[in-house]
Structure 1
């Protein structure tokens, strides 16, 4: 479980492609400093399991299975790309963002960026099957960053990025047309299952 508060802007240093998976080597001295085999680290919002750590180099290696590559933007990453990193939350710690599982629900496309004096409004295309989970003032994780939805329509939503988010995460340089991982609030999905979706009720 994560909070969507990125701890470190890391770098993907190597990608080893396997038959139905990949091995990612990621440099992130902060998150690697106390990482151990089996730990969970969110990479661009995707929960990955650490298989080895080199604390001297500040790197860790993680397995990425085929399903993860197909359902997220990780398949398009290459050595040298920046990545958002967050270690798993600790019980008893502060949750500065919202509860994030690191399980990507879909991929969105950056449609528009509009800089203002103290923030930047970003509009992102929303996969149709996720629209019902996104509400104004609700939370959404974009590449692992916990953000508040400022606008939503049938095909897209908007968020506002403060200077810290632009500077300390990959969202600051994601271009129009760029792809991002989306994770909607898990509470909405559980509630839908408990009470029955509108489609099933008709």
Structure 2
């Protein structure tokens, strides 16, 4: 499990096809702490296991399902990725609970300057996941915990502060770029619980989210 607070930006050394998907080698030397062999690292929001470690490089195997569902298959040598080590029980949670299980990808449809930061507008490749995107709620985009500013029936936007741009790969992203989306597991749980009940599910969902502090409707 992760929090969506990016610890460092790594660089792709190599990526090759393998029998299970792809074999990815990264320079992760910017991390303040070394992961253990067999440990978990969030790579652009995807939870991957360290299969080889020759500091400052680490290797990861990416299965075909993850390649198809995420942007990891688009990476090439020199590409930059967001890194976060897995959460420990004693750690402070400053973002939100991120599992590292990407739901789908999003395309950046528009970039709007809002000095000193900017607003990015995202269009999910699978609109089904918009049901879990709630204004003022959380999403993880390429592993970054962000607050949803607004949502429509085609996508959503987030406001990015300069510090987030400086510390992550979002500074590199423009219109047409593809990022990984993981929606909030707590919102998913609420939605799926209510959809499994009879009655006015939409009304109860809205009321439950409002009581939880979300601004809905």
1:89 counterpart = 2:100: no
Counterpart in 2 of 1:45? Answer: 45
Give, in angstroms, the shift of residue 20 of structure 1: 3.2
Structure 1 residue 11, shift from structure 2 partner: 0.3
Task: Give per-residue Cα distances to partners, 1:126-170, cap 9 Å, x unaligned.
Answer: 331011111110000000000000010101100011111111111
Residues 153-199 of structure 1: CA deviation (Å, up to 9, x unaligned): 10110001111111111111111011110000011222233232589
* Distance change in 2, residues 1:182/1:199 (3 Å): farther
Structure 2 SS opposite 1:31: coil
Unpaired stretches in structure 2, ≥5 consecutive residues: 202-217
Partner of 2:208: none
SS at match of 2:130: helix
CA-CA distance at 1:32 after TM superposition: 7.9
Larger Rg: 2
Which residue number in structure 2 is paired with residue 138 of structure 1? 137
Which of 106, 112, 123 is the equivalent residue of 1:125? 123
* Aligned structure 1 segments of 4 or more residues deviating by more than 3 angstroms: 30-33, 197-202
Following superposition, the deviation at residue 25 of structure 1 comes to: 0.6
CA distance in 2, matches of 1:201, 1:72: 34
Q: In structure 2, do the counterparts of structure 1 residues 198 and 84 end up closer, same or farther at CA, with 3 Å as the change threshold?
A: farther
Question: Contact between 1:4 and 1:100, CA under 8 Å: does it hold in 2?
Answer: yes
| Distance apart, 1:201 and its partner CA | 8.1
Question: What TM-score comes out, normalization by structure 1 length?
Answer: 0.93
Aligned residues: 200
Question: What CA distance in whole angstroms lies between the structure 2 residues aligned with 1:34 and 1:157?
Answer: 35
Distance 1:198 1:171, change over 3 A: farther
Is the 8 Å Cα contact of residues 82 and 142 (structure 2) preserved in structure 1?
yes
